[in-house]
Structure 1
């Protein structure tokens, strides 16, 4: 075990760009990867929080991500989410690679969202409203800015200090950003929701008629960031996998229960790649799935073995 290579956060970032990670995910879907075959995550409660186990398998590799979620950690100056990813050889189940788990999540989640945005958002989308100020909020703005000509970012947060901090981080990376209120969604081409809120973070009636909305904050059926009006107004709603969304995505579960969304109208991510563009509001709801970690981990290993960043 001591001889297994380990990819830390900085190394992972140097190996794979947002675009390369998204390209790997798209290639896997186009090659026939079936998200519906992905094994569901499992959760184990602990005294400090919970452990999440996310396994997946491909023709060449088996992988598993183990994450810990400790809600009280931020108050002690520690990350709320920590973890480790283990990549095994598919034939022998020999461990081949270890990857820092939170870094992998911070890469693959925005990469999946950016893949959806690539197909759902207007090519000239320039204004982003982002709800949340954590690592995923920062990573999502960066990933979207890699594929769209973003000129303005409005950060919405209940904590002014958090909004100021994210704005500073985005400005350091050359993006124009400033704090904003909920009403900023009126002018947003792309709305990113990356919060821990258990209730909707804005009124769906505020959305511009062309907005692309991405929600990634929860994988629990009783929690949602988007209200029913978002779904009632949407011309297209995309999820990684229809059945998984109907089981885990509270935004989708509650919209269906409230009559704002018909379950059969949900579009799988793979279907989106071949579907024609349609005008109107689009929604991508992500819960995160093990196949995404595996695809990105395999791409990272390939880049690491060749020494050529992707």
Structure 2
């Protein structure tokens, strides 16, 4: 069995290839070739959470074990076990926080490639943590994004991520207010752990990826923005139980499409597009597929 470090795990999961792997997993899932039950969520003392996320296809089976402790640093710790489906032989142990960061950003990348009205425009990142950084990397590598605004509660953190973007030869600016960027950005990523809305308006043809809120009592996008947008989610079953942005807005679920169904249709009509992601073991399976393919070469 291969035990991969964070650096080794990241090197085996380039964002564009991972987005393609996710698309293939969704196609296989639509054909009934993948088993992926809803994740088990176990509340822990002090507001922490334990997540168990299994998925299997005919070749490999994965289980991700995640703990989330919002007051700790790092707040998320995780491992992904990869094994042969037919024998149970353990093939690899992946650094789970890296898998989570990269596959979440790759799902947003795939959604932007599929749904964004203007996928080549400037990017606004709200939240300067791990997910903000991974989305910056994913959108640059997968969409060619070359201009980014960074907003965070801590301007120091915003400037740190903007400086990292400049090192990657992007035009980047840390901002103390969202207002200036909202007149220009066509891509918006909400990647915070805020329990109350941060984004109260959006440009008329914006693509919004809301990835930070993962519980019903959390929301980054205000209801007025949610109700203006065409709504898409990573999976309907996960969103119905955990997508606080949508649940608190009391949306009509008949108007919400999954990414799986969106991939089989034409690009949506003009207007704001909101893609809400809460995570799913399908994305970990896609990452494990890519890792095992690359290790076998």
Counterpart residue number, 1:280: 271
User: Residue 273 of structure 1: CA displacement?
Assistant: 0.7
1:126, distance to aligned residue in structure 2 (A):
2.1
SS at match of 2:79: strand
* 1:190 equivalent in alignment to 2:187: yes
Q: Write the deviation string for residues 37-60 of structure 1: whole angstroms up to 9, x where unpaired.
A: 533232241468332221112221
Shift, 1:279, TM fit: 0.8
2:286 counterpart residue number: 295
Q: Does the Cα contact within 8 Å between 1:238 and 1:269 map onto a contact in 2?
A: yes
Deviation of the 1:210 alpha carbon: 0.5
- 1:16–1:303: 8 Å Cα contact kept in structure 2? no
Count of residues in correspondence between the two structures: 292
Consecutive unaligned residues in structure 1, runs of 5 or more: none
SS of aligned partner of 1:88: strand
**Residue 9 (str. 1) matches residue 6 (str. 2):** yes
Establish whether residue 263 from structure 1 lines up as the match of residue 258 from structure 2. Answer: no
Partner of 1:252: 246
Q: SS of 1:27's equivalent?
A: helix
Name segments (4+ residues, structure 1) moved above 6 Å. Answer: none
The separation in 1 between residues aligned to 2:146 and 2:105, in whole angstroms, is 19
Q: Deviations over 1:19-41 (max 9, x none)?
A: 00000010121234468953323
Deviations 1:111-155 (A, max 9, x none): 101000001123552211110010110110111122323232111
Specify every segment of 5 or more residues in structure 2 that has no aligned partner in the other structure, as ranges: none
After TM superposition, the structure 1 = structure 2 runs for residues 38-53 of structure 1, keeping only pairs within 5 Å, are 38-46=37-45, 49-53=48-52
Q: Distance in 2 between matches of 1:47 and 1:196?
A: 16
CA distance in structure 1 between the partners assigned to 2:245 and 2:82 by the alignment: 32
Aligned to 1:237: 231
Aligned Cα RMSD in Å?
1.8
Corresponding residue of 2:108: 113
2:63 maps to 1:85? no
Q: State the SS of the aligned residue for 2:80.
A: strand
Quote the Cα distance in structure 2 between the aligned partners of 1:265 and 1:191: 21
Alignment CA distance shift 1:114-1:49 (3 Å)? same
Q: How does 1:128-277 map to 2 (within 5 A)?
A: 128-180=123-175, 181-183=177-179, 184-204=181-201, 207-234=202-229, 236-255=230-249, 257=250, 261-277=251-267
Q: 1:126 touches 1:148 (CA, 8 Å); kept in 2?
A: no
Task: Provide TM-score, normalisation by structure 1.
Answer: 0.89
SS class of match (2:142): coil
Report the alpha carbon displacement of residue 10 of structure 1 after superposing the two structures with TM: 1.2
Deviates more, 1:112-121 or 1:122-131: 122-131
Q: When the two structures are superposed, what TM-score results if normalisation uses the length of structure 2?
A: 0.93
